[in-house]
Chains A and B, each alone.
Chain A
Amino acid sequence: MAAAAVNTDKANPEGGDESASSASASGEVLPFAAIYRQYFDFVWSSVRRLGVSPASMDDVVQEVFIVIHARLHTLQHAETLRSWIYGVTRRTVSGYHRARRVKDASAVALAVEPSVQQLPRTPFDLVEQNDQVKLLFSLLEELEEPKREVFSMVELDDLTVPEIAEILEIPLNTAYSRLRAARQAFEEALARHSARSVRGR
């Protein structure tokens, strides 16, 4: 996905082409230190929301910023910086989950490894202190994956719909309609939860 956000990625998969550094050289892109300050919260929240365990947060967030640092010169359009960072984050977290699967499973056990759907997608399992947070993520679990993804990206990661359309490589109208459906599904899930709570009293 990040490859879509950074036009030079496909042409320069190893990031070793110094000719692609025009964006940073021209000053269109923020210096890395400024990016760190400005986007740390965004990266951290996204990494956590994407299901990285608290014990691994530091490592994964560092990894995201290392990739950003190394590949910033490939960013041609400064206005896509946030969606580009999100793409880097998403891929890094995806790699983390895959590495964990490989690590956790023995060679034989790989045959019965859990599917992606069974992996923690949210910090729900890890957040015990807040009933509202638990409720939020339990409701999100009821949504279909495409809707949950868009809902979470807008409501929790604070991305705009055009950014989401770019990251997910879907038409803008599709992104809007998916968000509308996701919000509706979330409200319905909340209504069902409320109804169950009332009946349980």
Chain B
Amino acid sequence: MDRILVGLKRVVDYNVRVRVRADGSGVETDGVKMSINPFDEIALEEALRIRERGEAAEVVVASIGGSEAQQQLRTGLAMGADRAILVVADSAVEPLSAARVFMKLIERESPELVILGKQAIDDDNNQTGQMLAALWARPQATFASKLELGGGKATVTREVDVGLEKIEVDLPAVITTDLRLNEPRYVKLPDIMKAKKKPLDEISLAELGIEDAPKIVAQQFEPPAARQKGIMVEDVAGLVAALKDKGLV
């Protein structure tokens, strides 16, 4: 195939303990480490492996966000993507708008495969890939833990609640990644230098002419209800007594 399109979202790093602002207006992101959404990193790794096996010619990474998202796209280029597109947006876009943006990119780039993370670890929505497949009227293979290509089709093993489900989809298609699809590579210093020379195009959101979607408004943020700190027991006898006390055994 000619091209794989991969989405990279800039999110608060996986290891950061997120805190809600005291006034409930959002979560604290000032001075917090930002990274590529881990599921998107897996999506890029999978695309790179497909290209390295000779099954795709080019891997294009795209993000939607402020100019700071260039950082994550550069990391994607350093991992091995051929070029990058930043759709510049002043504020966060909701999943349907993100899907509409990617639909515009599909019209421009004609990829045979679009690989996205199954969810972003900030809003945990788990929507964009499925929405994009709907708008494109193409197959979706979500929560992929194994992807095999051949004969204009993809055979995808999906992580579902009862185990693993295998489906077959005609290309082009949208794949969303689960954690065990692969282990993303580390970026090496020379690759970071090389990535600076790779093309990174910017398009403004307005330029793409995306239709407005009715907004789901976030009104207030709060920390989760804290669990009371419990008791420590000394041994198994103490544990069994405590469980009996609560009527659990």
- Tell whether A and B belong to one assembly: no
